[in-house]
């Protein structure tokens, strides 16, 4: 919901670090893969109840996710990089509620509902992007993205805020997960409606 407003100042902050990495010969895909591996470490940290460590790992993953895109634009974007970025992101997002499920069986149902909600937002996002690419459409608010970026009530910023909340207050995971799952469901319905309307014509 607020990604379009947050991305310009975020890019301004990360532009210099991204340029420094590029100057040192670091590739955007390397940052993507490193960030993904760091993010995956949040799963065992959550399993062991090390929620502070998990939060740091999650934030480092998101930092890498911001850096790799800026680095790619500085040297020239590639379809492989865009594919890798979005594919790994969706796997990472699902591992966080999974981590809470294995840390406490009482979280399992809420985690399953949340992961299902993530499938809804992710599949509607990607399905729209596929048809939009076929029609040559571009998202004006996210023109720098490698694929058509369809917004909604729960975008990247809201998801990160949710992850921060559940890591800081893990005892509230169940109610927070249900609330966020409902917000994701609203986003999915909004995207279905938008796709139905936009793609109804030639």
> Residue 38: helix, strand or coil by DSSP?
helix
Write out the H or E segment, with its range, that includes residue 141.
Answer: none
Q: pLDDT per residue over 188-200, tens digit each?
A: 999 999 989 988 8
For residues 14-20, give the mean pLDDT. 91
Distances (CA, A) of 78 to 146, 149, 181, 182: 8, 16, 33, 35
For each of the domains in the chain, give its residue range(s) and CATH number, in order of start.
Answer: 3-198 (1.20.120.1760)
d(CA 126, CA 72): 21
Length reported for the chain: 202
- Which parts of 135-172 fold into alpha helices (H)? 156-168
Q: pLDDT per residue over 158-178, tens digit each?
A: 999 999 999 999 999 999 999
Cα-based angle 67, 99, 52 (whole degrees, multiple of 5): 65
How much is the pLDDT for 142?
44
Q: 137 is written with which tokens?
A: 């459409």
Q: pLDDT per residue over 67-108, tens digit each?
A: 998 999 888 878 898 899 999 999 999 999 999 999 999 999
d(CA 16, CA 62): 17
Inter-residue contact 70 to 15 (CB < 8 Å): yes
């Amino acid at each position: 919901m607020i990604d379009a407003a947050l991305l310009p100042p975020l890019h301004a902050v990360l532009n210099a670090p991204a340029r420094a990495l590029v100057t040192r010969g670091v590739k955007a895909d390397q940052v993507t893969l490193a960030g993904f591996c760091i993010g995956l470490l949040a799963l065992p940290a959550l399993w062991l109840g090390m929620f502070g460590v998990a939060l740091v790992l999650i934030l480092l993953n998101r930092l890498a996710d911001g850096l790799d895109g800026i680095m790619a634009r500085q040297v020239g974007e590639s379809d492989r990089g865009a594919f890798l970025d979005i594919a790994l992101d969706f796997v990472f997002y699902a591992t966080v509620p999974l981590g809470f499920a294995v840390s406490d069986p009482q979280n399992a149902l809420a985690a399953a509902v949340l992961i299902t909600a993530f499938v809804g937002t992710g599949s509607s996002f990607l399905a729209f992007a596929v048809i939009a690419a076929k029609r040559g459409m571009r998202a004006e608010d996210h023109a720098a993205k490698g694929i058509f970026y369809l917004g909604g009530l729960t975008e990247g910023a809201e998801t990160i805020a949710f992850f921060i909340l559940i890591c800081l207050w893990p005892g509230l995971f169940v109610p927070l997960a249900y609330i966020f799952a409902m917000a994701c469901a609203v986003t999915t319905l909004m995207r279905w409606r938008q796709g139905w309307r936009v793609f109804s014509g030639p």
